[in-house]
Amino acid sequence: MKEEVSPLAGKTVLVTGGTGSFGHEFVRTCLARHRPKKVIIFSRDELKQFEMRRAFPEKTHPNLRFFIGDVRDRERLYRALDGVDIVVHAAALKQVPACEYNPIEAIRTNVLGATNLVDAAIDRGVKKVIALSTDKAANPVNLYGATKLCSDKLFIAGNNYTGPHETRFSVVRYGNVLGSRGSVVPFFQEARKWGRLPITDVRMTRFIITLPQGVDFVVNNLARMRGGEIFVPKIPSIGILDIAKAVAPECDIEIVGIRPGEKLHEVMIPADDARRTVDKGDHYVIVPDAVDMRKYVRQQGGSLCPEGFAYSSDNNPDWLDERTFLEMLTPASPAKQQRGGASAVADRAVASPAV
């Protein structure tokens, strides 16, 4: 049987926001399993780059490069993308309260940064760009979600004006990344010191994905993408109380109420997108408007989702119990990492501390 070739093999790959949780896991996986020609970390924080260099020393990782830059800086992007084959776009302002308080800063990074990347990728001849989105972009109720919805639209529309260039853009959308920076698990672990966990609403549910699953989902969709798709993994849900009981069973629960910009349940595919959604077994694909849906299914496989279908954390058939959630918190074997029907997904969407 012929060995499947990685879409990253022999390629020069640039990761925007590459010093974050996703970037660390992506680089680790990419260098260990996918044989890239070069991996470039593009980010604006020199200290984080210094720390990442120590984790991936040049002596043992000679094909890893670091490039100081900001997606807001169009000219710097043009320089960074020279000779790049693939871009994984993970740069974003993600913290909901910070985006609410500093809206123009979120727009400059999440929206104008996406515009700069689309233009630079086309002009520099990048072959593929895959952007990390968030559940908060589906029916957004906060500024972060609104900027990411706008960003998603920009990347999808980028396929319309590539002209003679071969550049293709697609998006991956997923839920909370387990244990990522600023997410609920580290927050609860810290709150154990005080013996009390703040819970916004006991009915709250969330999608959960691990970083290794996220990285695999991104890589798999680099191979699948034709341009214009939004890929959504099938991943398990969990109730916020189950997270609290699993992380700190000895602590008291304090109900603090849903904060501005929070949802009771997460949505990854709203009902309005059902007519453009294809069920591919372990993931969904939201197909571009210009594509004939039935022709797509005949050629690519899968099945059309019924009218009115929606994929949200409260109507999900796949749920984590406390035991399985605790297993996911521990360093997982490859078999465990495939749990939840996902080949599937990673960091973009960090939960705010009370989810």
- pTM for this model (two decimals): 0.89
Please state, for a pLDDT cut of 90, what percent of the chain lies above it.
Answer: 72
Q: Which of 48, 136, 234, 263 is catalytic?
A: 136
Average predicted confidence (pLDDT) for the chain: 89
Query: Phi, psi (5° rounding) for residue 230?
Result: -115, 115
User: Can 48 be counted among the known catalytic residues?
Assistant: no
Q: Is the pLDDT of residue 72 over 70?
A: yes
Contact status, residue 173 vs residue 137, Cβ threshold 8 Å: yes
Res 175: pLDDT:
85
Q: pLDDT tier at 182 (50, 70, 90 boundaries)? A: low
Lowest mean pLDDT among 111-120, 169-178, 192-201, 301-310: 192-201
Integer angstrom CA distances of residue 196 from 92, 246, 275, 322: 31, 14, 45, 19
Partners of 232 in the β-ladder: 284
Cβ-contact 41, 49 below 8 angstroms:
yes
Q: Convert the pLDDT of each residue in 15-41 to its tens digit.
A: 999 999 999 999 999 999 999 999 999
**14 touches 128 (CB < 8 A):** no
Q: Which residue has the higher pLDDT, 187 or 267?
A: 267
CB-based contacts of 244, cutoff 8 Å, min separation 6: 188, 197, 199, 251, 253
Q: DSSP string of 293-329?
A: HHHHHHHH--EEPPTT--EETTS-S-B--HHHHHHHH
The three-class DSSP label of residue 261 is coil
Neighbours of 330 (CB within 10 A): 8
Return the pLDDT at 3. Answer: 58
Is residue 231 helix, strand or coil? strand
pLDDT, tens digit, 9 for 90 and up, residues 184-218: 787 888 888 888 888 888 999 999 999 999 999 99
Judge contact between 338 and 324, C-beta under 8 A.
no
| 297-327 per-position pLDDT tens digit | 999 999 999 989 999 999 999 999 888 888 8
Q: Could you give the strand order of the β-sheet that contains 237-239, starting from the edge strand earlier in sequence? A: 176-177, 205-209, 237-239
Instruction: Report residue 340's pLDDT band, with 50, 70 and 90 as the boundaries.
Output: very low
Any residues with CB less than 8 A from the CB of 187 and at least 6 apart, and which?
353, 354
Domains of the chain by start residue, with CATH: 12-178+208-234+268-308 (3.40.50.720)
pLDDT score of 155 more than 60: yes
Q: Is the pLDDT of residue 353 over 80?
A: no
How large is the C-alpha radius of gyration of the chain? 20
The mean pLDDT value for 242-254 works out to 87
pLDDT for 98 beyond 50: yes
Residue range 213-231: mean pLDDT, rounded: 96
What is the predicted pLDDT for the residue at 321?
85
Type of residue at 240? I
Q: What's the whole-number mean pLDDT along residues 173-194?
A: 80
